[in-house]
Each structure stands twice: as structure tokens, then as C-alpha cells.
Amino acid sequence: MRKNKLKKIFSEGKAVINGWLQIPNSFSAEVMANQGWDSLTIDMQHGVVDYPNALQMLQAISTTDVVPMARVNWNEPGQIMKILDAGSYGVICPMVSNRKEAENFVKACLYPPKGYRSFGPIRGLLYGGADYGKHANDELLKFAMIETKEALENLDSIMTTPGLNGIYIGPADLSLAIGEEPSFDKPEGDKVYDTIMKILEHAKKNNIIAGIHNMKAEYAQKMIDKGFKQVGKNFPVYLHPQTKEEYALARKEKKIGKGHGDFTFDVNFKISLDEDLQRRDITINAIAKDENGNLYDPFHGVKDLKDRKIRVVSEAFAEDPLRLFRVARFKTKLAEFKFSITKDTLEMLTKMSLNNEINFLSGERIWEETQKALRYKNSSIYFSTLKKIKAIKYFEGLDECYSKNLKFLSKNSFAFYTFNHFKYPPQRGWSY
């Protein structure tokens, strides 16, 4: 499936600049798509765009690499599904006021079992690709608009809705909600401005992307500088507005679903450094250093470094199946230093391989780890480790290779085989 460029931009801690289309004309949409926007949103709420117009506008945008989005006129499943079927790569939903409404919106965007979206992506297949149905849940973006009085009372419950990628502030309706005149680009000190900053702080706390509607370019830049961006959408890591240094807050995680992404995060000043480090994957990654250079090592990562051991920190490791592939990659990276995986860690990895959690991982995340491993000098160790822990089955054809005792003499030859023969499990539909 065609990748959603916006997800990559967000993961790099950059802001997305989104254009707005209210005129029902494919030529104007094409002109806008050639002006350097990251994405364009077709406004079906307050614009004069109907579905046939929107379809033609999506086709025009598709002549460029600009990501096509749409704002629907209400939280109505039929309309949401239909615009996604037409090839929109994201939906902005207005007037989301509580957790239940947010959940209904998200589920309308997702195929079962995560949602109830009906399958019929008549143009989505043309724009996204033949494997659209297998990857749409991961690629399509979902933004809930915060613009009602009730929403202001339910910020945290809305923002922690599983599957919701971000929130989008509508300043005009937000103004009305708090008794002010509807307008955009409110100055500092204004009641609406203060409310917007409150929403932004909640978005940061809940590790969710925050967007805002504005009129002038300079105001858009001001909002970006105020923090309408983050480094990664899943973790509380932020850029300092002046120094651009990354700051990570102590956090606790709670698994609420399957796979790698279904976690909630708790960020507050009562969380200890021990609690934060306990959620790391392996002990050598669970070492902290203070501003004076003193090490804090509650899980004996320094000793494991000296002993050249790869060891999991705690049982919480097993909650994230992607870590199985990360450990195999670390083993590959550290092979030249003679690092080994401890017996108890190998047992845990094998147990993880035998349950069905890995089936909930996206092919893209597994390929990310695999691609990194292929860059290392001893890349074949990655796959021999996966075989040892019974995870090689997730790469179709490799078991047969090992049974024939095929040997790859170099990194490059192994990589060649990978690109030409690997297929992700049929249910995931990995292709090159």
C-alpha cells in the first residue's frame, strides 16, 4: 500500500502544513496540490463540496505526492466510510465531544476486528494499491475536532481513545463554545488563545498529535513554535522551542490491546525513574545518567555490558512483540563484540514467538527492524537468532533455506536473497 507521508513527518518531530479546499473544482485542487503543501483537506462540512466533487478533487491531488485528506460534515459512519473508499488518506471529524463519539469515529475508519468499516474501497485500491485492505488500518489518519464545551470537559478521555491519531482545533466553534465571537488567529492573552494552549498541553500530556486551523502563514508558524508538533506520536518526547534538544518525560505504559501500538501512557511527576526504566527492553538500555555524569543503574545494565550479556529488564518486555525482533537485531549489531542472549531471555523470546501477538504487528514495523539488521556486518545472525527462538516462520521460505543448509557468504548476498525471496505471511500480504 502507498505509504502515508504524514506519518513519517510526524515521526520525525516535524509539523505538517495542511491546505484547505472549499471550492468544488478539480482544477483548483490540482493547482493547490502543486504549491508545496504536505497535505490538502477537502472540506465537506462548511465548503460547497459534495461527494462527486470530492472524488474528482481527490483524483487531481493524486497527480502529486500531497497527502489527500477530507473533513466530513458530521460523525456519520456512512459518509466517513465513503470518503475513505474514494481514496482519502485521513479524516477530520467535527464536533467530537466525548469518548464514545471518538470511539465511534475511529471504528468507522477501521476494518474489523478493530472497527466496523465496510469493505469496498472502490478508488482506495487504485490510489493505495492492491494490498489496501491489509494495511489501511495502519496508514489512514483519524483526527477528532475539539471545538465544543463538552469536549473541553472530556479532553483526556477523547485523546486517549485507542486508534485516534490526533486532535484538530476549530477556533471559530471553540470561540462560540466559551462565549466569544467566532474568529481565527487569536492573540496571546485572549480567552480563546488561553483555551487553545490548554488543549495543546493536554495533547502533549496524552502523547497525541495536535493540529489547529488558522488564516495567516505567520500565525501558523507561531502555533508550530508553541508546540503543535512532537517527536513521535507514541512517547512523551518533545523538542525544546529554542535549543531544539529532545526532552523525554518519565512514563508508565499499560497494554490495552494487541500488537505494538495499543498502549496507554501515564506521564506525571509522581512517576519514578525506576518505574520508567523498568519498562525498557533490555538492561543495557535501562541505564540513566544525571547532569553530573553519574550513572543510575537499577537493573545492572553496566554489569551486563561488562559480561557482554543481552538480558530483558522485566516481564513487561513480553507485552510488545516487536521487541522480539529488536533483540535479534541487537544480537546482530553486537556480534562483533561477542555478546550473547541469556538463557532466561531466550526462553521468553521463544514463548513470545509461539503466541499470536506477532500476527498483530504491521509488516512495516517488522521490516524496519529487518532492514536495520541487514546493514550490519553479520546480518545473517539476525535470521539465525530468529530461527533459534522459533520466529523464522514469520518469513516465508527461510525455514526451507535453513533445512537445505544454504550459506550466505556475505552481507550483500544475504540482502539480495532477502529482497528477492522474502514474503511476509500471506495474511499480511507483504510484497515488493
Contacting residues for 24 by C-beta, under 8 A, at least 6 apart: 47, 48, 49, 50, 53, 54, 57
pLDDT band, residue 414 (cuts 50/70/90): very low
User: Does residue 395 lie in a domain region?
Assistant: yes
Digit-coded pLDDT (tens) for 224-273: 777 664 333 444 555 555 555 556 666 555 554 554 444 444 545 566 78
Higher pLDDT, 361 or 339: 339
Domain boundary among 232, 247, 273: 232
**Chain CA centroid to CA 430, Å:** 19
* Strand pairing class (166-169; 18-21): unpaired
Q: Let me know whether 222 and 320 are in one domain.
A: no
3-state DSSP assignment of residue 394: helix
Comparing 261 with 409, the larger pLDDT belongs to 261
Domain boundary among 232, 260, 287: 232
Domain that holds residue 41: 5-232
- Summarised one tens digit per residue, pLDDT across range 76-114 is 999 999 999 999 999 999 999 999 999 999 999 999 999
Residue burial 302-337, b: 16+ Cβ < 10 Å; e: rest: eebbeeebbbbbeebbbbbbbbbbbbbbbbbbbbee
**Angle CA(32)–CA(35)–CA(70) in degrees, nearest 5?**
40
On whether the CB atoms of residues 128 and 107 are closer than 8 A, the answer is no
C-alpha 151: how far from chain center = 24
pTM, whole model, 2 decimals? Answer: 0.55
CA distances from 24 to 51, 412, 426 (A): 10, 51, 41
Across 340-352, average pLDDT: 93
Q: What's at 214, amino acid-wise?
A: N
Residue type (1 letter), 152: L
pLDDT of 190 strictly over 70: yes
The CA angle 270-271-276, to the nearest 5 degrees, is 170
Q: Which residues of 360-380 are buried (b: 16+ CB within 10 A; e: fewer)?
A: ebbbbbbbebbebbbebebbb
Are 222 and 361 part of one and the same domain? no
Q: Tell me, what CATH number does 343's domain have?
A: 1.10.110.30
Beta-carbon contacts of 352 under 8 Å, excluding residues fewer than 6 positions away, are 318, 321, 324, 358, 389
**What per-residue confidence (pLDDT) applies to 194?**
92
pLDDT at residue 128 greater than cutoff 90: yes
Number of domains in the chain: 2
Q: Which of 189, 204, 232 is the last residue of a domain?
A: 232
- In a domain, residue 222? The reply is yes
Residues 51 and 179 in one domain: yes
Averaged pLDDT for residues 303-330:
91
